[in-house]
Amino acid sequence: MASLEEKVVAVIMVGGPTKGTRFRPLSFNTPKPLFPLAGQPMVHHPISACKRIPNLAQIFLIGFYEEREFALYVSSISNELQVPVRYLKEDKPHGSAGGLYYFRDLIMEDAPSHIFLLNCDVCCNFPLPDMLEAHRRYGGMGTLLVIKVSAESASQFGELVADPITKELLHYTEKPETFVSDLINCGVYVFTPEIFTAIQDVFTHREDRANLRRVSSFEALQLATRTPLADFVRLDQDILSPLAGKKQLYTYETIHFWEQIKTPGMSLKCSALYLDQFRFTSPHLLASGDGTNSATIIGDVYVHPSAKVHPTAKIGPNVSISANVRVAAGVRLISCIIFDDVEIKENAVVMNSIIGWKSSLGKWSRVQAEGDYNAKLGITTLGESDC
């Protein structure tokens, strides 16, 4: 059993503005981690999952967005959850492991016994307390959350082989060209502080190799121009692959949902998954109504308290309505995310779409798509102030 003094910290990687190009036009105005999914910013879902970890001392968000973009959110979520949440800005991308190492002194200031590492663009039920329990049983340096997927889709992710009995990670390969396994890495980890030694070993190994090489003046020049990458360490290729099969890393398999949020289409799918989860975790966030005093609600729907929805509107399933939205009489909304300050006028229909901030949809307008979350044109996306 863990002692009561043992503290745990969580680190959530949020990336930065050089990424997220597939999220355009939505990512022009707002950092991707702050997009609303099921009425809450994308990063809110892993943050609130961290709140369930016993003895949680702090949550860190690491990325290279400007600090002002996160300042308001970080202070409000810290107050709401009563857990300190801090945004740490990298001077440049350091990679998933390099970013962790770059802020090691801050992460270790509470002397935590364990460090969770999560990726912001992952959608799952984040079984973090169960992972921690399993990790303590295994006694290794780190435990990865893994899931079984179809053999066809496995190659898009990090495939791995684990011992079926001990759950030890035996082999890890990132996006292999040939099929290795239907078990993939979910991008959710728990480590002991030994992870910092493992990352330091990568740096040392690189320096040793550079020193061993007798460099000509031309090669020396090449190495000098490459130095920005010297402190770029990827968790998958630089840590997981070399340490697999050395009794240091273990796996915890989830049987629940898991998706990666890489496109607006996937964000609409993940919004539906989180809305469905609210039935069990936060039923108070789900709207209800039968069309008498309030709109008719079908399935899982989130409506922000400041939104005004006409009683004759019909909403759902899988609809998320943000702050200050105005929905007029006779409107029909199905499978859509409506951002802040949108106006939807009388008898308009919105299906399989994301409607950006301050947009205005005219009377009897129809915005719809096929609803294939993976297809390029599977959903319709309006940017800010589109009409």
Domain ranges of the chain: 8-200+231-260, 286-382
> In this model, does residue 2 exceed pLDDT 80?
no
Domain 8-200+231-260 and domain 286-382 have a common topology: no
Range from 99-108, 137-146, 226-235, 307-316 carrying the lowest mean pLDDT: 226-235
> In this model, does residue 182 exceed pLDDT 60?
yes
pLDDT band for position 228 (cuts 50, 70, 90): very low
pLDDT band for position 313 (cuts 50, 70, 90): very high
Cβ-Cβ contacts under 8 Å for 240 (sequence gap 6 or more): 144, 158, 160, 169, 172, 185, 249
DSSP string, 72-84: HHHHHHHHHHTS-
Contact present, 234 and 13 (Cβ < 8 Å): no
Q: Specify the higher pLDDT residue, 127 or 222.
A: 127
| Tokens 């308001």 found at | 72
> In this model, does residue 312 exceed pLDDT 50?
yes
> Which of the given ranges, 60-69, 88-97, 231-240, has the highest pLDDT on average?
60-69
β-strands 183-191, 142-148: how paired?
antiparallel
Q: How far apart are CA 116 and CA 133, in angstroms?
A: 13
Looking at domain 8-200+231-260, its CATH class is alpha beta
Q: Specify the higher pLDDT residue, 368 or 23.
A: 368
> In this model, does residue 263 exceed pLDDT 90?
no
Instruction: Report the topology of domain 286-382.
Output: UDP N-Acetylglucosamine Acyltransferase; domain 1 (2.160.10)
What per-residue confidence (pLDDT) applies to 227?
42
β-strands 343-344, 319-321: how paired?
unpaired
pTM for the model stands at 0.90
What does the pLDDT look like over 56-76, one tens digit per residue? 999 999 998 999 999 999 999
